[in-house]
């Protein structure tokens, strides 16, 4: 990349998707199944992709920077034989995008080859790492996930199950983990259940994955969520729940998965993502009604919420904005770019729909607000007479320390400005956010949830932050 160019996805305003994990046992061509599943999970991370497959006890790993389709081809998959495999797609925070941090991480372990794939963020990883380094440990990566391997290796327990159990007792924060030791997989979800992890079955084999859309692509049947605190052992066609971690007094699945991260066709945290988003949209319409001619979505993540808004308000849903799906790795030079250029590359207005219309634009969230301002300009230029912005989540005011790469507090529009200020900065005729109570009520039968980026109520201790081992704005991920 020339130094004066910026990858256009870095100009996006949304918080970045983090990581996706998948594991398969007891299926012929396991690596190919994992490849397809990673394809379905690509929205969770676009920086690197990796698969580790195990054949007769021998593990082989292939991982590279890039999209799943760029990292794997038929020859690579043919070189990954076996009936057990695990895979990972990753989005890294700034400075952490080198290949060494791509996952799965694989090591030679006392009990055979070991590989690990992690979605989440350990909020005490720096603290653990510091102590391990002082005691002589040598790390291969900057990734917080590697501490799990070191903790297992230091356990005095004789069985792998016991070693995993020992390691897990040290961890704080968010972790959905898949660990392979030889041809056995272990699937683990932290006691608060921050990140999703689902179990599926195909034939006599099993699959675990971040979202159910990864099961659908290989025709696996959804069985259930892995429970918060649960540790499952999967070997061939056998499945065995191991001793669970002590369940947290209050569970905290990430409500932002429902707002934005997960795919709408997925089922996570025991519910349909599409249904949750429609419920947010309906509640938003009740809380912030407006007279308008058309409801538009900021595609694609706000489509379901906009449909919900339209259903409740009886204002017709129109395709007024199109999204270009091919810009992910496009580069622009700032010298060529006008203020709205990155939004123009990504979104196109449908003039015939917008001309002379009063429109309600529904977006899933407002983070920095940069893209939203540009979108309003684009919609007005296409002839809309009024633009009313409705946000299907509350103002994002606090950073996430549980595995989502949010900007610092100072960069968050909801933290910096009042609603009238935001209205005038974005140039909208009106602005309405879904209330925190309204959001939680819309999904309350499946709660409670983590809402810390909206409420500031952090559910797991922020050990590294409190000990001054990370910057307040440093939200590291998997
Ligand atoms: Fe999800 Fe926000 Fe909680 Fe992070 S702080 S886990 S993004 S709800």
pLDDT digit string (tens) for 341-379?
A: 888 888 999 999 999 999 999 999 999 888 899 999 999
Tell me if residue 15 falls in helix, strand or coil.
coil
Q: Which of 2-11, 393-402, 422-431 has the lowest mean pLDDT?
A: 2-11
Q: Which of 74-83, 301-310, 329-338 has the lowest mean pLDDT?
A: 329-338
Neighbours of 351 (CB within 10 A): 12
Find the mean pLDDT for residues 73-83: 98
Ligand 1 center to 29 CA (angstroms)? 36
DSSP 74: H
Nearest ligand 1 atom to the CA of 396 is 2
- Domains of the chain (ranges plus CATH)? 6-252 (3.60.20.10), 273-449 (3.40.50.2020)
The C-alpha angle 274, 68, 53, rounded to 5 degrees, equals: 105
Closest CA to 338 of 382, 380, 377: 377
Find the mean pLDDT for residues 42-50: 94
Which comes out higher in pLDDT, residue 12 or 18? 18
Distance CA 400, CA 225 (A): 23
- At 334 the pLDDT is 52
Which of 402, 406, 412 should be mutated for ligand 1, with most atoms under 8 A from CB?
402
pLDDT (tens digit per residue) in 96-125: 567 888 999 999 998 899 999 999 999 999
Distance CA 71, CA 63 (A): 7
- At 101 the pLDDT is 85
Active-site choice (19, 213, 400, 450):
19
Pocket flag, ligand 1, residue 452 (CB < 6 Å): yes
- Please say whether the beta carbons of 449 and 174 come within 8 A: no
Which of 400, 443, 472 should be mutated for ligand 1, with most atoms under 8 A from CB?
400
Pocket flag, ligand 1, residue 194 (CB < 6 Å): yes
- At 468 the pLDDT is 83
Pocket flag, ligand 1, residue 261 (CB < 6 Å): no
Is the per-residue pLDDT at 2 higher than 50? no
Is the per-residue pLDDT at 162 higher than 90? yes
Active site residue 19: yes
- At 40 the pLDDT is 98
**Which residues lie closer than 8 Å to 84 by C-beta, 6 or more apart?**
23, 24, 25, 26, 30, 53, 54, 180, 183, 184, 185
**Residue that has been written with the tokens 């449908």 in this structure:** 350
- At 410 the pLDDT is 86
* Structural tokens at position 216: 């659908």
What is the residue-averaged pLDDT of the chain? 90
Is the per-residue pLDDT at 1 higher than 70? no
**Which residue has the least CA distance to atom 2 on ligand 1?**
453
Q: CA Rg, the chain, in Å?
A: 22
- At 4 the pLDDT is 45
Q: Which of 25-29, 84-88, 455-459 has the lowest mean pLDDT?
A: 455-459
**Which residue has the least CA distance to atom 1 on ligand 1?**
254
- Please say whether the beta carbons of 476 and 125 come within 8 A: yes
């Amino acid at each position: 990349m020339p130094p004066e160019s910026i990858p256009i996805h870095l100009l996006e305003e949304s918080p970045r998707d983090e990581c996706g994990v998948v594991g398969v046992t007891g299926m012929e061509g396991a690596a190919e199944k994992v490849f397809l599943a990673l394809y379905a999970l690509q929205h969770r991370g676009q920086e690197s992709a990796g698969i580790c497959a195990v054949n007769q006890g021998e593990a082989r790993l292939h991982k590279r920077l890039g999209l799943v389709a760029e990292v794997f081809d038929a020859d690579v998959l043919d070189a990954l034989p076996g009936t057990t495999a695990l895979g990972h797609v990753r989005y890294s925070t700034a400075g952490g995008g080198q290949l060494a941090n791509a996952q799965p991480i694989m090591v030679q372990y006392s009990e055979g080859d070991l590989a690990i794939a992690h979605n989440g963020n350990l909020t005490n990883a720096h603290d653990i790492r510091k102590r391990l380094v002082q005691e002589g440990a040598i790390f291969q990566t900057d990734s917080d996930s590697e501490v799990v391997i070191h903790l297992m290796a230091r356990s005095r327990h004789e069985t792998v199950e016991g070693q995993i159990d020992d390691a897990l007792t040290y961890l704080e924060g968010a972790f959905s983990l898949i660990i392979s030791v030889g041809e056995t997989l272990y699937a683990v979800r932290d006691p608060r259940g921050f990140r999703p992890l689902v179990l599926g079955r195909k034939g006599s084999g099993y699959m675990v994955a971040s979202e159910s859309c990864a099961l659908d692509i290989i025709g696996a049947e959804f069985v259930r969520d892995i429970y918060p605190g649960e540790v499952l052992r999967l070997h061939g066609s056998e499945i065995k729940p191991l001793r669970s971690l002590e369940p947290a007094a209050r569970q905290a699945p990430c409500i932002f998965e429902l707002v934005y991260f997960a795919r709408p066709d997925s089922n996570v945290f025991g519910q349909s993502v599409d249904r949750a988003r429609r419920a947010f949209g309906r509640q938003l319409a009740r809380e912030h009604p407006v007279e308008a001619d058309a409801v538009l979505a900021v595609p694609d993540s706000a489509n379901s919420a906009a449909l919900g808004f339209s259903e409740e308000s009886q204002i017709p849903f129109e395709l007024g904005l199109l999204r270009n799906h091919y810009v992910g790795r496009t580069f622009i030079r700032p010298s060529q770019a006008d203020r709205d250029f990155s939004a123009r590359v990504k979104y196109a207005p449908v003039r015939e729909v917008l001309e002379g219309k009063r429109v309600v634009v529904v977006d899933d969230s407002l983070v920095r607000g940069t893209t939203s301002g540009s979108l309003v300009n684009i919609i007005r230029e296409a002839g809309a007479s009024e633009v009313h912005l409705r946000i299907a989540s509350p103002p994002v005011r606090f950073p996430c320390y549980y595995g989502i790469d949010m900007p610092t507090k100072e960069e968050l529009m909801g933290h910096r400005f009042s609603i009238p200020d935001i209205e005038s900065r974005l140039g909208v005729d009106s602005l309405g956010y879904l209330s925190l109570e309204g959001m939680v009520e819309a999904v309350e039968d499946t709660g409670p949830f983590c809402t810390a980026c909206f409420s500031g109520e952090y559910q797991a201790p922020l050990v590294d932050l409190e000990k001054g081992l990370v910057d307040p704005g440093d939200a590291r991920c998997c």
